[in-house]
Structure 1
Amino acid sequence: MRLSRRDLILAAALPALGAAARPAVPPKGFVTVQRGKLALDGKPYRFAGANLWYGAWLGAPADFGDVERLRRELDRLKALGVTNLRVLGAGERSPAKAAVSPTFQEEPGVYRQDLLKGLDVLLAEMARRDMKAVVYVNNFWDWSGGMPAYLNWVGSGPWFQQGDPNHPWPEYPDYAARFYGDAKANALFLRYLRGLIGRVNTVTGEPYRDDPTIMAWQLANEPRPGGTAVFGARNMPVFQQWVRDTSKLIKTLDPGHLVCTGSEGLKGCLESEACVLDAHRPDTIDYVTAHVWPNNWGWIDPKNQPATYEAGEARCRDYVTRHIAIARQLGKPLVIEEFGLIREARAFAPGSATADKDRFYRTIYGLALEDMKAGGPTAGTNFWAWNGEGRAQHPDAWFAAGDKSFVGDPPQEEQGLYGVFDTDASTLAVIAEHAAAVKAL
């Protein structure tokens, strides 16, 4: 059964925060939506961005933290022209083999204060560089715990990890999507969510809800209604209600910041345009999100990338164009907040060939810039993801518990598969060129 309205009312009952209305005049420095476009202090807000899920880990005052590296990475990104970072603000202990460790919530209601402090440090350092953050607060995938971890905690099983050969795709998305209708799992999630949004930054002394560094709260990384047509159709009303209820709660707790879904778009909605429209139609969802993953979706074969690239790129162009049309139909901004392509020969090491990857980046950037110039809804892009000076720590390039050299590729995939290293000169040049073009608009 889905979370009841009574549950949500109880979840929102925080006397310290109340249910304030959205400010008539946005505070200075807050990103807003005006006439279907992102705006900042009365001017159009457009950006070249990146994904840096592990930012809070680097900022943590712990043996796995490295605040000096965090500062170097932010300086590198700023020098490239990157001004917007999508970061992970939650994480749950997962029994999955390929999962982040440590994480924000080691067991239900037991939070790691050093990681929360790491998020404080990250936001404070971003503020010093005039960067904006999109903070996602849950995950459909188990590499950070996410929805399957909550289901496991409340005994809504049997639990199994993504990629388990005994549970072939699409069993995993059908399992993870049970989260939306599980009241006990959502109660644990909402408890963490309320605490996070109500947090006061220990570095700056500023409440999160008053911090203009935060551009948006994001419901989850790539939430999906399910994996199979049968389960997805049955679960669709529950999924859409969860989007409405959770975004409404966030707006109640923090009316000043934007809220978005974190959806991949059509690929995260069983290819249903109606699903995408319904998920982004509520007034409490401020803009549309889209992700573009041609290798993962079988559009460009990672084992035969040169021969399949051309046709795959055409499908990506069509995919982006369709989401621009969806955003225009809704009268809301669009952010292409994840996109990536593997290196040639599926290599992971810094310095390995990136000609196809660079071409793919130019394609996505070109589509975004063209729409920006035409006055369309596209506001920005966030490539996946920034590796910086991080490196794989093992010969097989897989993450292991205790590793401290975090990269943009999460533990569910080889370290270096999609991420951009600080030595990837040609890719860095593509990013910098696009960032300069966006800034010049």
Structure 2
Amino acid sequence: MKIGIDRRSLLLAGVMTAGCSSLPRRGGSRSDQRAFVRREGSRLMLGDQPYRFVGANMWYAAYLGADAPFGDRARLGRELDALAAMGVRNLRIMASAEEGPLRNSIKPGFRNATGVFNQTLLSGLDYALVEMGRRGIRAVLCLTNFWEWSGGMMTYLSYVDGGRFIDMNDPAHPWPAFANANASFYGSVRANTLYRDWIKALVTRTNKITGVGYHDDPTIMAWQLANEPRPAGDVAHADLPVFYRWVRETARFIKSLDANHLVSTGSEGLKGALEQPEIVLAEHAPSEIDYLTAHIWPNNWTWVDQNDLPGTSARGEALTADYVTKHIDLATRLGKPLIIEEFGYPRDRGSNDPAASTEYKDSFYGQIYSSALKSMREGGPIVGTNFWAWNGEARAQHPDYRFKEGDHQYMGDPPHEPQGWYGVFQGDSTIRTIVDHARAVAKLP
């Protein structure tokens, strides 16, 4: 039965009321709020207790936090309240966006080709961090992107290569041309000089609202080298020594500026490592990399067909289970924590409409959460999850569900994707699954 928006909102309120009674007090203790998350072997710790979390992706938090026509601070507060009520204690957000020529990249960006930094957007990040801290929500901050929707590595290359670039999904440059061209970023001294300028500016930034340096802000859990960095699009074009050196030296550079926070790669795991376990191990081996990450996209990877979920979901479930098991093994071999920091699934019948049901999506979330909880209970390496992604109260602005420049109804589905494809809306039954998992994690000793 299709549920109207008003009734869906009432259902959401009921879910939150049911879940919050068993969740820890919002924000935790004051001592917890002042403590930094740190790594001890294969665990993350907060004070003298293991740090385990239920999290989400909300790439657009700084955009909502901006005091500008493209921002919406009131909405940001409502979204953070909703997430906190669900038991979400960790958000992975973009702390970068490179403004340039690529199709479908978000505008405005945090920086442009001339090295001018967008102070309005940076102030939006300041504001978002303050509001997250007030609610006891920690942040993972991504420092660039392998993909085009926030500019990313290809835009950096265009800055230093005479404006030349390749658009993702350009018929003239079919896959894996974009990814292979992107791989030259890792060895480009000029592109990485600009990238490091941004890292230094951000890591050493002082929050204009609190007067606290980012490097001294415990609201930040970790810096992330990039969203989904891959060594290339295929093995033949992967210069692995250069890629490994980029990971190690960039992480070391961040640690030289900030000794308080964790550093992670942002890798998809095996999919981003060209299906080679040895690449995952080598990429995450440096001591400066504190934990492993894994992303799981059954529909994107053709494990399921969104137009035939009844007929393909079982296959997707089996491949997902195998993927999680392999990453638990890799993390165990390295003796480091593992975070499943992206996992996404379409709505029933592949719909982008928030009124569409989410039976198969809820089942997929339940599978991920069951695996994570089992690992946590058994002392395994999984310490947290971040679902992709929070759409909240946003709604697509156009009948074709496409994002157009000038739209400000940001949602978890980035500008290059159908708006509503993978995100969780207020009122979705998926929220019940998230709340139940958060309650179970909160009960762990």
TM-score range, shorter chain: over 0.9
Q: Is the 8 A contact 1:87 1:136 kept in 2?
A: yes
> In the alignment, does 2:326 pair up with 1:322?
yes
CA RMSD of aligned residues (A): 1.2
Structure 1 position 99, deviation (Å): 1.5
Aligned to 2:83: 77
Q: Which runs of 5+ in 2 are unaligned?
A: 1-31
Mapping of residues 279-294 of structure 1, within 5 Å: 279-294=283-298
Identity %: 53
d(CA) in 1 for partners of 2:440, 2:419:
30
Aligned to 1:308: 312
> In the alignment, does 2:430 pair up with 1:427?
yes
Using a 3 Å threshold, how does the CA distance of structure 1 residues 159 and 69 change in structure 2: closer, same or farther? same
Aligned to 2:337: 333
d(CA) in 2 for partners of 1:219, 1:39:
21
Mapping of residues 40-439 of structure 1, within 5 Å: 40-155=46-161, 158-232=164-238, 235-424=239-428, 426-439=429-442
Q: Is the 8 A contact 1:108 1:188 kept in 2?
A: no
Aligned to 2:17: none
Q: Is the 8 A contact 2:228 2:268 kept in 1?
A: yes
Structure 1 position 199, deviation (Å): 0.1
Structure 1 position 96, deviation (Å): 2.4
d(CA) in 1 for partners of 2:296, 2:410:
23
d(CA) in 2 for partners of 1:284, 1:347:
42
Residue-pair matches, total: 413
Using a 3 Å threshold, how does the CA distance of structure 1 residues 157 and 317 change in structure 2: closer, same or farther? farther
Query: 2:76 is aligned with what amino acid?
Result: L
TM-score where L is the length of structure 1: 0.92
Query: 1:324 is aligned with what amino acid?
Result: I
**Runs ≥4 residues deviating over 4 A:** none
d(CA) in 2 for partners of 1:323, 1:113:
39
Aligned to 2:16: none
Using a 3 Å threshold, how does the CA distance of structure 1 residues 115 and 153 change in structure 2: closer, same or farther? same
d(CA) in 2 for partners of 1:293, 1:172:
20
Structure 1 position 302, deviation (Å): 2.3
Aligned to 1:35: 41
Residue aligned with 1:100, SS: coil
Residue aligned with 1:225, SS: coil
Q: Is the 8 A contact 1:50 1:385 kept in 2?
A: yes
d(CA) in 2 for partners of 1:319, 1:416:
25
Structure 1 position 301, deviation (Å): 1.7
Using a 3 Å threshold, how does the CA distance of structure 1 residues 215 and 208 change in structure 2: closer, same or farther? same
d(CA) in 2 for partners of 1:345, 1:153:
41
Q: Which runs of 5+ in 1 are unaligned?
A: 1-25
